[in-house]
Structure 1
Amino acid sequence: MANSMYTKGREHILLGDVAWLSADIKVVSVDETDDAPVLATDEFLDPDILVGAREFTSGNLAGKSSTLGTADATDLTPAFSSATGDQFESITIYVDSGVATTSELLVNIDTATGLPLTPDGGNIDITWSSAADKIFTV
């Protein structure tokens, strides 16, 4: 698989269900040996990413911006503090509605420097791309 938007996430954005600039947007690391993302059909954090596959969850993204359909945010330093546990193969960006069954999945990133990653007890940073597509483009 390659970095991509969830089909339902794209739909939620285009329907106006997701307000990138004001919504609580978080990142969850995904152990794909426990549950591989299905970009065509996965829609919500629960039940679509099994609890056992969710290794770590970040705080809300800060410094979010949107220019010409391209989303960006401040790098997460750290994204996950003092992280220990299973290896994870990807991260998923999602809207945290406060309820997992209504938290929309937006983007899965599985191709990036450092992935897959086995936590060693240290902090894990996420540095967003400085290329033209930043985090993602609708």
Structure 2
Amino acid sequence: MSNALYTKFKERLLKAQIDLSTQPVKAVLVKNTYAPVIASHEFLTDIQAHIANTAQALAGVTVTGGVFDANDVTFAAVGADTHKAIVLYVDTGVAGTSPLVLYLDEIPGFPFTGNGSDAEIRWDNGANRIFAL
């Protein structure tokens, strides 16, 4: 699989139902047990069984020129699971209504097996940052 925006997110975006510059976006590490179904996975509940950590809120979010970016993020004390990707989602406070945004597996250092240490994720500093439309 390669990095991909979830289809249902794209639909919400085109219907002006999501504003990534004002709504809280969070990141989770997903285990190698997750088989992404980009076309139909819609909410956090679709991936909950494969989440390997506590969600991290993205800070410093910017949406400029069709490019989404945020500050780098650190996951604390990452367990011994094999982590294959990061999933971003919009946090509504309820897993069943929190839409999935992006599946990222083309990240330097992924997949990796945690060892209890912190895992710092450094987003791409190129033109596309985290993702671009």
TM-score w.r.t. structure 1 length? Answer: 0.91
Counting matched residue pairs gives 133
Amino acid at match of 2:15: L
Amino acid at match of 1:25: V
Amino acid at match of 1:120: N
Separation (CA, whole Å) in 1 of partners of 2:104 and 2:86: 5
| Residue in structure 1 matching 2:58, options 56, 61, 67 | 61
Counterparts of 1:39-58 in structure 2, within 5 Å, are 39-46=38-45, 48-49=46-47, 51-58=48-55
Name the SS of the counterpart of 1:10 in structure 2.
helix
Amino acid at match of 1:103: S
- Give the root-mean-square deviation of aligned CA atoms: 1.2
Q: Unpaired segments of 5 or more residues in structure 2?
A: none
Separation (CA, whole Å) in 1 of partners of 2:80 and 2:21: 32
CA contact (8 A) 1:63 1:74 kept: yes
Separation (CA, whole Å) in 2 of partners of 1:20 and 1:29: 20
Counterparts of 1:1-138 in structure 2, within 5 Å, are 1-33=1-33, 35-46=34-45, 48-49=46-47, 51-76=48-73, 78=74, 80-138=75-133
Separation (CA, whole Å) in 2 of partners of 1:13 and 1:32: 28
* Structure 1 position 112, deviation (Å): 1.1
TM-score w.r.t. structure 2 length? Answer: 0.94
Name the SS of the counterpart of 2:8 in structure 1.
helix
Name the SS of the counterpart of 2:83 in structure 1.
coil
Q: Unpaired segments of 5 or more residues in structure 1?
A: none
Name the SS of the counterpart of 1:106 in structure 2.
strand
